Amino acid sequence: MSYTRSHQLFINGTWRAASDGATLPVINPATENAFASVASATAQDLDEALAAAQGSSKAWAALPANERGAILIKASKILANNIDAAARNLSEEQGKTVAEATGEYKRTVETLEWNGVHAERLCAASPIDEHRTIRLEPAGVVAAFTPWNYPAVLNARKLAPALAAGCSVILKGAEETPSAAVHIAEALHQAGLPDGVVNVVFGNPAAISTHLLASPIVKVLTFTGSTAVGKQLAKAAANNLQRCILELGGHSPVVVCDDADLAKAIPAILEYKFECAGQSCNAPSRILVARPLYNDFVARITEAAGRIRIGAPDDPATEMGPMANARRIEAMQRLTKDAVDGGARIQIGGARLEQPGFYWPPTILTDVPSDAKVLHEEPFGPILTVAPFDDIDQAIDEANATEYGLAGYLFTGNSEAKEALVNGLSAGAVSVNFLKGVSADSPYGGVKQSGYGYEGGEQGVRGFQNLKLVNELPSHR
């Protein structure tokens, strides 16, 4: 089969095929056609990546942090000059619109730049008193695993802080969306990153993670993906006591209080929810509305959701593209059927669009029984449930009634209600009167089954550092 692009492995500063020549197809979710390929690493390739990361790590760690930072800043500029092409590649592989992909690449550039600018400060030793100092040392070789929903910015959120801290990295990019890892690694390479400091592999995810985590060379595991896979990786990492940073699933509530301005709340919820066809770990998925507003809210959000333009990701008029793969369509069908069988009502959507591509329309469910799977499993798609609540305590209990704890959102101008909700929601991040996700300069992480560890900001770099306490008295005493 002839493909328009074939992505390779990046090992020890060289782009190359897998040692046995194996490849995997890359599917365009808007057409369901395989249009590109990606190399599938063998055990030998992984051993070479481990050796390259280990071989490069001493010199990279020894480079002054401001020089490591300068390479990140230069790479951010190289990537910024390539955003248009990179965003089109991402859109073609992932299904998000070109505008969404462009926005994601802008955040990717910012992430590389922020970590570059702050590298020196975040690696500086800090004195406790005249005899004691805390030094911050690179934690060692990192194995990073990133998913297909936001492959550009999530790659940057792992690579940039690890590199700033002085760690070498083996990155397993998502096989569905390989071009993001390729563009970022190439920008770093062109910016002067020494060979072996970043290695990019693709292939069989379970085989790669098993192989890498079995190696004592790897000191840190960082993973973004499902809770089930995160737990498997944490167990594998236990054998070598590798540090884990786990950014896992979410099932985020939005609490709409009785004083909320629906003219502002509804567009804000819809814009954030349906970005990337709802495939964001921090997308809102359960809306709880104060009972006096409930009927009006359901009518207005249903009407507004019906106006979202679904179509080809490269059509500038499109507001929502297809889902990323057939697995997501199957999950939407299963969750919708289970809810409806239990008595839920479909206000809008609820069935795959009958056309080529993995298109699932905005779907709003009401009257969903409390044991329906859609209220407990991460939907990871364009399905929203809406339910009424009678008082803030009930809203908090229902908002917290999942095993996840990533994000929570609320709309109110009432300071008492706001305080109760901000305190009461079990979440790593709470946004009030708007919906806000990750940014380069602030920490983001989950509680409960949404994982542990942080990405972003100062805390993002700390995840890749060891603290060394140095106690010292002058020798002449």
Q: Which residues form the catalytic set?
A: 247, 281
Distances (CA, A) of 348 to 352, 370, 383: 12, 20, 10
The two structure tokens encoding residue 30: 């808007």
Q: For ligand NAD, how many residues bind (rule: CB under 6 A)?
A: 21
Binding segment for ligand NAD (CB under 6 A), chosen from 63-71, 125-133, 241-249, 434-442, is 241-249
Binding segment for ligand NAD (CB under 6 A), chosen from 38-46, 180-188, 204-212, 333-341, is 204-212
Question: Is residue 399 within 8 Å of 288, Cβ to Cβ?
Answer: yes
Q: Is 192 exposed, middle or buried (0-12, 13-18, 19+ CB in 10 A)?
A: exposed
Does 333 participate in binding ligand NAD (rule CB under 6 A)?
no
Distances (CA, A) of 72 to 107, 162, 210: 14, 11, 30
* 222: helix, strand or coil: strand
Does 224 participate in binding ligand NAD (rule CB under 6 A)?
yes
Does 149 participate in binding ligand NAD (rule CB under 6 A)?
yes
Nearest to 240 by CA among 222, 224, 219: 219
Minimum gap (Å) between residue 245 Cβ and ligand NAD: 12
| Residue 367 per-residue DSSP state | S
Question: Is residue 367 within 8 Å of 386, Cβ to Cβ?
Answer: no
**Amino acid identity, position 70:** A
Cα(23)–Cα(8) distance, integer angstroms:
9
Does 147 participate in binding ligand NAD (rule CB under 6 A)?
yes
- Interface residue with ligand NAD, options 19, 226, 400, 459 (CB under 6 A): 226
Binders in 397-436 for ligand NAD, by CB under 6 A: none
Minimum gap (Å) between residue 462 Cβ and ligand NAD: 21
* 314: helix, strand or coil: coil
Binding segment for ligand NAD (CB under 6 A), chosen from 44-52, 61-69, 188-196, 225-233, is 225-233
Minimum gap (Å) between residue 247 Cβ and ligand NAD: 6
* 136: helix, strand or coil: strand
Minimum gap (Å) between residue 224 Cβ and ligand NAD: 5
Per-residue binding letters, 150-189, with ligand NAD (x by CB under 6 A): ------------------------x---------------
- Interface residue with ligand NAD, options 225, 321, 388, 408 (CB under 6 A): 225
H-run or E-run covering 132: strand 132-138
- Interface residue with ligand NAD, options 188, 281, 287, 335 (CB under 6 A): 281
Does 249 participate in binding ligand NAD (rule CB under 6 A)?
yes
Which residue in the block uniquely carries the two structure tokens 């940073």? 245
- Interface residue with ligand NAD, options 13, 205, 216, 437 (CB under 6 A): 205
The two structure tokens encoding residue 371: 């044991």
Residues lying near ligand NAD in the complex (CB under 6 A): 145, 147-149, 174, 205-206, 209, 224-226, 229, 232-233, 247-249, 281, 327, 378, 380
